[in-house]
Amino acid sequence: MPVERPVKKKRGEKAVRTASPFACGPACGLQACVKDGVLVRVEPGDFPGTGHICARGLAYPKLVYHPDRLKYPLKRLGSRGEGRWQRISWDEALDTIAARFKEIGANYGGSSLAFVMDMMGILSVDVLLGFVGACQGTFVLPAGCGDSAGVCGDRVCYGSPWWYGEDYTTRFDKPALCVVWGSNPVDTDFFKWRKIRDAKEGGARLVVIDPRFTATASKADVYVPIRPGTDTALALGMMNVVLDQQLHDVPFILDHTVGPFLVRRDSGMFLREKDFVSGGSEKYVVWDTWSNAPRCHDVPNISPALTGSYKIGTLECRPAFQLLKEMVAQFPPERTSEITGVSADVITRLAVAYARTRPAASYRGMGCQRTFHGDITFHAINTLAAITGNISFEGHATFELNHIAFLARGVPNLLPLMQLYDAVRIGKPSPVKSLWIARHNPVNQDPNFNKMISEILPCLEFIVVTDMFMTTSAQYADIILPVCSFFECTDLIFPVGNGSHNYLQLQQKVIEPLCESKSDIEIITSLVSRMGIEGFLKESPEELITLLLASGHPSMEGTTLERLRQGPVLPASQSLPHFSTPSGRLEFYTERLKQFGQELPIYLEPLEGQGSPLAKKYPLILLTTHTKYRTHSAFANVAWLREMDPEPALEMSPADAKPRAIKDGDLVRAYNDRGEVRLRARVHQGMRPGVINISQGWSPGDYVAGTHQALTHETINAVHQAIYEPNASLYDVLVDVEAVKEP
């Protein structure tokens, strides 16, 4: 049972425990204080032992009662983006949408109706999925908006059954060393930071690897200033030291990784018994040093070799670990230092500490996977963890919900976000002609703004946006539907499980929907019958949650709607199935990526790296990091937060500002071939020379001109596509900056 934090209830107030679905990851629990039907205050809602809230969470009432909230459905007048709107009734809005959907579906097929969402409870997602499935429509997978490369790396190594495999490298009882790779949990993931902080207070050392000196870096024992996009090389350099000094964990590599499995030199595939024994099995094969012969890996009383080269018949084979060792040998500390900008001495000390200080936890942030080869970065960090035995099997858990019940009327086509561009523009892989945007802000948050405006949006025959505010995306809609805040509707909040917490929570309706706003669930269920789908999604949100909980999976045992009303619930089953890779082991060598030459975590330069020819024209790397003052583009309109972070700023090092004659506060222009943005410079020492940063979430209207997304690109990495979803390489962008005259 949750420990209740005393909430000070003023006269006539009641406190309702709810939870935030906002896309900042942690899904904080909240106590919503209500008086006379008005949300008056938000307080931290307890998880057992901890209560968390942030400046944004506390400011929720300002978002709920914001004067700019959309109050009723709107229909576009004039051309798209012109900003002329007409108030219409819900009936007119929904009838129009249904008619247009039927028309477009009849002309181009159901899959031309695409739906993209973000920032909602899991019931809203399932209802939307169910509806899209019933329409034979296309559901756009949103992870590619910057978060899907790391998943690819994790799926390669762990075959992660869920989103991220962060638990494998972080779930230690008492980590003795915490290494944060390319992220700033102090500002952006409070649950994760609390765990790191606790470990640090328990005596653990903290290492923070980041090109920027962030608030997290300020808490570090050792700050490792790295060139963006080179984390893979750093991990390889560390492995070089580990292997050179024989600090690797041989029993772990033998028992839990593909290290001893023999790899055929001719094909790069793992040797199977059938490859050299007629009628043999598909079993993986190791070289037994006791019998000096190949043996199936699961034979008892063998001593598999990790190194060497062996002839089996005509086949030349080497253990996967030998291949890793050979690759890693190319990254001695000196060379790694040249690539990463981290001193050879720091690389060596870090590697030795990481191997010797057990357990050492690796917290991999989204930052270091937002480059074109960010998937390999996770692959490399996981490999480093594996060869030093810094992998945890403790207490992993997740819920298995009854998603399938919502797909009774059909299964949607799935389209990764980064492939939406070409689906709309040129009909590849299949044409998309209408887009339903639910609480997502793709025009503002997805890459290549100018292309989006000039080449993507005009190809869409129909755009519907459901949002609380007139976002950048809503400005280009044909119909806008006002949705209510999460305090105004019931939903289920699923733990992201990215090393934060594993609690399932109820988002309880606290107040009635404001003005004419409706929940996403109500909007979709009102469309169902209009689309001619009968007898589907008729239940109340509470009934639908009960249905969603009833998967019958052991993890759901005892998890009921009633129990969720009392507070957050942990999954009943606590053990993680072992690695769900093809081999059932941690695969630092993967057959799946042999075709791409990435079977090992090789180092590849960023697409727009400082070594590329493009860097002669555009020498600065642009980062667009997350901030504590906003959650993506949400909260940018809240005065309380705006008071603390009033306007966009281009952060740059004095080393880059001086030769460009830029002073702190000057109006500057960042530009490349794709576009430009104009804003004030903020010159400070916390930026690595050669790297600039504009914290994301600002809208075009917040800038003097342009937008940071005009600089970014949507180039697809085929590896991501093969493993999971292509990622937006938002931190793999070259620009230059110049001072401009005041307008």
Partner 1 sequence: MKKRYGLVIDLERCTGCRACTVACKIEKGMELGTGIRVETIGGTKQDTPRGTYPELSMCFLPIACMHCEQPPCRDACPTQAIYQRPDGIVLIDEKQCNGCQECLTACPYQAFVYDEDKAVVRKCDLCFERLEQGYEPFCSVCCGFGAIFFGNLGDPRSTVSQLVSRHDAYTLKPELATGPAIHYLPVKDPRRL
Give whichever of 289 and 685 is closer to partner 1, judged by the CB atom: 685
CB of 391 to partner 1, least distance (A): 21
CB of 686 to partner 1, least distance (A): 5
Q: Strands 177-181 and 491-493, how do they pair?
A: unpaired
CB of 24 to partner 1, least distance (A): 12
Give whichever of 52 and 518 is closer to partner 1, judged by the CB atom: 52
Cα–Cα distance, 594 to 600 (Å, whole number):
8
Q: Strands 262-264 and 222-224, how do they pair?
A: unpaired
The reply on whether position 2 binds partner 1 by CB under 8 A is no
Classify 25 in phi/psi space as left (phi over 0), alpha (psi -120 to 50) or beta.
left
CB of 223 to partner 1, least distance (A): 6
The reply on whether position 684 binds partner 1 by CB under 8 A is yes
Residue 607 phi/psi, 5-degree rounding, is -55, -45
Give whichever of 61 and 333 is closer to partner 1, judged by the CB atom: 61
Span near partner 1 by CB under 8 A; candidates 221-229, 446-454, 669-677, 696-704: 221-229
Give whichever of 221 and 543 is closer to partner 1, judged by the CB atom: 221
Give whichever of 464 and 657 is closer to partner 1, judged by the CB atom: 657
Among 653, 672, 693, 717, interactor with partner 1 by CB under 8 A: 653
Q: Interface residues for partner 1 in 67-96 (CB under 8 A)?
A: none
Q: Interface residues for partner 1 in 687-726 (CB under 8 A)?
A: 687-689
Contact call for residues 19 and 507 (beta carbons, < 8 A) = yes
Q: Interface residues for partner 1 in 344-403 (CB under 8 A)?
A: 349-350, 352-353, 357
Among 225, 367, 482, 495, interactor with partner 1 by CB under 8 A: 225
CB of 183 to partner 1, least distance (A): 14
The reply on whether position 66 binds partner 1 by CB under 8 A is no
- Based on DSSP, count helices (H) and strands (E) in the chain, helices before strands: 25, 30
Amino acid at 719: V
665 exposure class (CB count in 10 Å sphere: 0-12, 13-18, 19+)? exposed
Cα–Cα distance, 723 to 709 (Å, whole number):
26
CB of 97 to partner 1, least distance (A): 38
C-alpha to C-alpha distances, 357 to 170, 218, 244, 345, nearest whole angstrom? 14, 22, 17, 18
The reply on whether position 55 binds partner 1 by CB under 8 A is yes
CB of 641 to partner 1, least distance (A): 8
Span near partner 1 by CB under 8 A; candidates 14-22, 58-66, 502-510, 546-554: 58-66
Among 221, 255, 338, 647, interactor with partner 1 by CB under 8 A: 221
DSSP 571-607: -S--PPPS--STTSSB-SS-GGGGGGT-SS------T
CA angle 619, 623, 626 (to 5 degrees): 170
Binding mask 3-22 for partner 1 (x = CB under 8 A): --xx-x--------------
Residue 632 phi/psi, 5-degree rounding, is 50, -130
CB of 664 to partner 1, least distance (A): 8
Give whichever of 2 and 51 is closer to partner 1, judged by the CB atom: 51
Cα–Cα distance, 719 to 202 (Å, whole number):
40
The reply on whether position 53 binds partner 1 by CB under 8 A is yes
CB of 681 to partner 1, least distance (A): 11
The reply on whether position 636 binds partner 1 by CB under 8 A is no
Q: Interface residues for partner 1 in 171-210 (CB under 8 A)?
A: 177, 186-187, 190, 193-194, 197, 205, 207
The reply on whether position 652 binds partner 1 by CB under 8 A is no
The reply on whether position 298 binds partner 1 by CB under 8 A is no
Q: Tell me the two tokens of residue 6.
A: 């005393």
Cα–Cα distance, 5 to 111 (Å, whole number):
49
Contact call for residues 135 and 110 (beta carbons, < 8 A) = yes
Span near partner 1 by CB under 8 A; candidates 38-46, 257-265, 418-426, 482-490: 38-46
Residue 459 phi/psi, 5-degree rounding, is -80, -10
Query: In terms of Cα–Cα distance, which of 127, 130, 110 is closest to 408?
Result: 130
Give whichever of 193 and 698 is closer to partner 1, judged by the CB atom: 193
Amino acid at 224: V
The reply on whether position 59 binds partner 1 by CB under 8 A is yes
Residue 465 phi/psi, 5-degree rounding, is -120, 130
CB of 41 to partner 1, least distance (A): 6
Query: In terms of Cα–Cα distance, which of 438, 437, 441 is closest to 634?
Result: 441
Q: How many residues bind partner 1 (CB under 8 A)?
A: 55
422 exposure class (CB count in 10 Å sphere: 0-12, 13-18, 19+)? middle
Give whichever of 348 and 382 is closer to partner 1, judged by the CB atom: 348
The reply on whether position 248 binds partner 1 by CB under 8 A is no
C-alpha to C-alpha distances, 693 to 258, 271, 690, 732, nearest whole angstrom? 40, 47, 10, 12
CB of 633 to partner 1, least distance (A): 19
User: CA torsion angle for 360, 366, 370, 372 (degrees, to 10)?
Assistant: 50
Contact residues for partner 1, defined by CB under 8 A? 5-6, 8, 41, 43-44, 51-55, 57-59, 61, 177, 186-187, 190, 193-194, 197, 205, 207, 213, 215, 217-223, 225, 349-350, 352-353, 357, 628, 639-641, 643-644, 653, 655, 664, 682, 684-689
